[in-house]
Amino acid sequence: MRTKFVRATHECARSGKHAFAPTSMTNLKPNTVLQRAPYVRLTLNDGDYVHVRTAGNDLYVADDILVILDVFAQPRALSEGLTLLQQRITGAIDWMQLTSTMLRLLRHGVLRELSGRVVAPAGSGIGFEAPAIHVAMLNDHRRTECYIAAIQTVVQPGDIVVDIGTGSGVLAMAAARAGARHVYAIEAGRMGRAAEAVFAANGFAEQITLLRGWSTHVTLPVRADVLVSEIIGNEPLSENVLEFTSDARQRLLQPHARLIPGRVRILALPLVVPPDIVAEQLYTPAAVQQWQAWYNIDFAPLLDYGQGTLQTFAASPHVAGQWPAIAAPVLLADIDLQQVTDLVIIGQGTTTTAHAGTLNGLGIFFELQLSPLHTLSNDPRLATPDCSWRMPVWLLKSPLAIQAGERITITYQHGTGTLAEKISITRG
């Protein structure tokens, strides 16, 4: 595998005039100018797909994304971009796949208008523009209340506060209520317009300034005393909290600014994942037998597909908290956001199993140090049903029969670009 971590800004454009373009692309104007997200990590796999990671997005697309990013390395009108792409491919099928890939990149915010707006069909509600995302976060009372309590503890009267990824604006308003002299709320997507209206409706139009765009592209008139950022993903570092925080420390903050959160701890919980859950995620002998009975086709070769590698899926922490754990959580990484400069995180932890069982999964969760008095976690043993985060669960292709008292070592990697080795486990 090869990994490319892209920081330079690329502008992209395309037209809806070309044949075989998806219908929703016709909503775009020929002169629309697009801008790729400032941080995009591409992992080129052995097959014909690419794993794409950027702030708030984690998706797999066809390898024609490489041609798309090459053509859109510079600002281009929509029609010009598609004309150049047409010269790179042959046949209607290739063109249909390529335009489908482009549409996915637009919908997921990997490509954006130059203004920073996510391009999606009107009313589509995709990604962080979707009301459901913000409904879930606001309904996660424990999450939001803990952030608000930390803000009330950390923000002092007269502080300048910057809020990265303000979303609905709830944390920016909490900072204003805590006594901040001024709050700069940064939002790249269309949600910023809604947040601005919420600020005005609650009397904060003069105290809070909305800045549209990515935090890496904006500047502040003064450096801030406090950074508030709720950009922790289901996989804790997937929304590029390290990259955005590092940039903010260098350009947007006072030398001794206070951060909310100031620390991220990543932990793994050794689990016995129930068979019915495993059967939804992996090829199993029972499933192969059932499919043969249904379709009279032998799917046994699928059992070897992915043999020896870890597979991952997202689970509700509250649901996963009901699965048996054979050991206490293992601390894999303890990241001080006030100091961290390395975007590659490699951590390791060892634990002794408390119970015998078939170890077939690792749940990855986090703890956020929001203030000296406030810690927030999606620990499955404590999670409530309204927890808006999901927990990545890594399934072992070859489960381990574990006895009580055994030592196991878990290794975690982030930013290395090696998907299959992101999590590994050894005995002894």
Asked whether residue 163 carries a pLDDT value surpassing 50, the answer given is: yes
Question: Average model confidence (pLDDT) for the chain?
Answer: 83
Instruction: List, in order, residues 6 or more apart from 48 with CB less than 8 Å away.
Output: 62, 63
Instruction: List, in order, residues 6 or more apart from 20 with CB less than 8 Å away.
Output: 92, 95, 96, 99
Q: What is the pLDDT of residues 292-318, one digit of tens each?
A: 999 999 999 988 875 656 688 889 999
358: its two tokens: 């078939």
pTM to 2 decimal places: 0.73
Q: How far is CA 419 from CA 31, 110, 156, 264, 414, in A?
A: 38, 20, 42, 21, 9
* Rounded distance between C-alpha atoms, residue 246 and residue 341, angstroms: 6
Q: Which CATH class is domain 264-427?
A: mainly beta
DSSP of 104-144: HHHHTTSEEETTSPBP--TT---GGGSHHHHHHHHH-HHHH
Quick check: 33 and 114 in contact, CB under 8 A?
yes
Instruction: List, in order, residues 6 or more apart from 283 with CB less than 8 Å away.
Output: 299, 302, 303, 305, 306
Lowest mean pLDDT among 42-46, 135-139, 195-199, 249-253: 42-46
For 80, phi then psi, to 5°, come to: -65, -40
What's the order of all strands across the beta sheet hosting 160-164?
Answer: 208-212, 182-187, 160-164, 224-229, 253-260
Which three-class secondary structure state does DSSP give residue 10?
coil
Asked whether residue 257 carries a pLDDT value surpassing 50, the answer given is: yes
* Rounded distance between C-alpha atoms, residue 260 and residue 404, angstroms: 39
Q: Do domains 132-260 and 264-427 have the same CATH topology?
A: no
The full set of domain ranges for the chain reads 2-121, 132-260, 264-427
Number of Cβ atoms within 10 Å of the Cβ of 113: 18
Quick check: 110 and 57 in contact, CB under 8 A?
yes
pLDDT for res 13: 30
Quick check: 99 and 21 in contact, CB under 8 A?
yes
Residue 14, CB half-sphere, CA atoms under 13 Å: how many? Answer: 30
Q: Which CATH class is domain 132-260?
A: alpha beta
Lowest mean pLDDT among 74-78, 165-169, 198-202, 414-418: 414-418
* Rounded distance between C-alpha atoms, residue 400 and residue 272, angstroms: 10
Stretch 126-150: mean pLDDT: 83
- Give the confidence band of 411 by pLDDT, cuts at 50, 70, 90: very high
Asked whether residue 41 carries a pLDDT value surpassing 70, the answer given is: yes
Helices 78-86, 92-107: inter-axial angle, 10-degree rounding: 140
